[in-house]
Amino acid sequence: MQSLILDTPTVTSLVRAATAAPSLHNAQPWRFRFLTDSVTFQVRASLDRALPREDPHGRALHMGCAAALLNLRVAAAHAGWLPLTALLPDPYDPRLLATVRLERPLGGLHPEAVPDTEPGPEDLAALAALHPAIRRRHTCRQPFREEPVPVELRAALCQAAGREGARLRFPEPDEAWRLLETSRDAEGRDLAPFTTATTGAPSPNLAVIGTTEDRSVDWLRTGQAMERALLLAAGHGLTAVLTCHTPGWHEPHAPDHPQAMIRFGYAPASPATPRRPTSLVLDIV
């Protein structure tokens, strides 16, 4: 029988990695509860950290918590655990956004070892490989260099987001213009970081993340897809700036509901923003 015991320092280190995620206004709207008996993390919304004026529907709150969830999965995979994840597992507890039950893979993980809905060996390895980027990923606050992202890396970013159930794509100039013209950044910034400094046109490195529908679970998928792409980008020397305020348009023939915009690129490193002490966001029961 497997030994499924996590000590307090291990639980704390996993949550510390989770809380390195981005969030609107750095609100850090998450709480974590670790259930010792079932070796399960609960990722919960911390409504006292919500921003009702900037985020009236809780979209950004869900995305921020989901980004932390992705980091938690990455840290668990890096530590050799299989993170079995469920989104919105309890319809009677809307603050409970996700659970992550940890299992230790035995004798190497084979494709038949887990259901199709859980990470297989390749995806578990891909998650673990993102771990070093958790500390490297910082929102860009410096001017970008006008340098294109390689085509191969663009494709990898799109694939990374797709693994989390969302679609990341680099829109054509006309669509990019419409996105910028109808978007309002929830943090009150102008959209200059998403444009090319010399022309004011949308950056060719501008990406949009979308989902087929626009529900709470889609916001959670978006947040995980966003963070997975951001970690992959950081691991390849890219930085990024994002806005998670939904663009105010959606055409019937559009391929998805736009949920977030990300401008990838190359820029000097920005300092990390402060994080709340783990003791304030983690309960172990």
Where along the chain do its domains lie? Answer: 151-265
Q: Is the pLDDT of residue 246 over 70?
A: no
Question: What's the whole-number mean pLDDT along residues 58-63?
Answer: 95
Instruction: Note the pLDDT tens digit of each residue in 149-175.
Output: 999 999 999 999 999 999 999 999 988
Cβ partners under 8 Å of residue 110, min gap 6:
121
pTM as predicted: 0.92
Instruction: Note the pLDDT tens digit of each residue in 82-116.
Output: 999 999 999 999 999 999 999 987 544 444 444 44
- The per-residue pLDDT for 227 is 98
Phi and psi, residue 122, nearest 5° = -70, -45
> Concatenated DSSP letters for 42-92?
EEEE-GGG--TTT-TTSHHHHHHHHHHHHHHHHHHHHTT-EEEEEES--TT
- The per-residue pLDDT for 115 is 42
Question: What's the whole-number mean pLDDT along residues 255-259?
Answer: 85
From residue 124, alpha-carbon distances to 2, 9, 83, 167 in Å are: 19, 23, 9, 20
- The per-residue pLDDT for 175 is 87
Q: Is the pLDDT of residue 73 over 90?
A: yes
Q: Which fold has domain 151-265?
A: NADH Oxidase (3.40.109)
- Whether 221 and 244 have beta carbons less than 8 Å apart is answered as no
Q: Among residues 285, 198, 212, which one has the least CA distance to residue 255?
A: 212
Alpha-carbon distance 98 to 88, whole Å?
5
- The per-residue pLDDT for 127 is 96
- The per-residue pLDDT for 3 is 53
38-52, 77-91, 123-137, 193-207: the lowest-pLDDT one: 193-207
49-58, 110-119, 187-196, 232-241: the lowest-pLDDT one: 110-119
**Cβ count near 41 (within 10 Å):** 27
Q: Among residues 234, 30, 265, which one has the least CA distance to residue 132?
A: 234
- The per-residue pLDDT for 114 is 43
Question: What's the whole-number mean pLDDT along residues 198-210?
Answer: 93
Q: Is the pLDDT of residue 185 over 90?
A: no
- Whether 83 and 73 have beta carbons less than 8 Å apart is answered as yes
In this prediction, residue 54 has a pLDDT band, given cuts at 50, 70 and 90, of: confident
Highest mean pLDDT: which of 62-76, 97-111, 181-195?
A: 62-76
Question: What's the whole-number mean pLDDT along residues 39-59?
Answer: 95
Q: Among residues 144, 247, 258, which one has the least CA distance to residue 204?
A: 144
- Length of the chain in residues, anyone? 285
How many H helices and E strands in the chain?
A: 6, 9
- The per-residue pLDDT for 216 is 97
Torsion angle defined by CA atoms of residues 238, 241, 245 and 250, in that order, rounded to the nearest 10 degrees: -50
- The per-residue pLDDT for 184 is 65
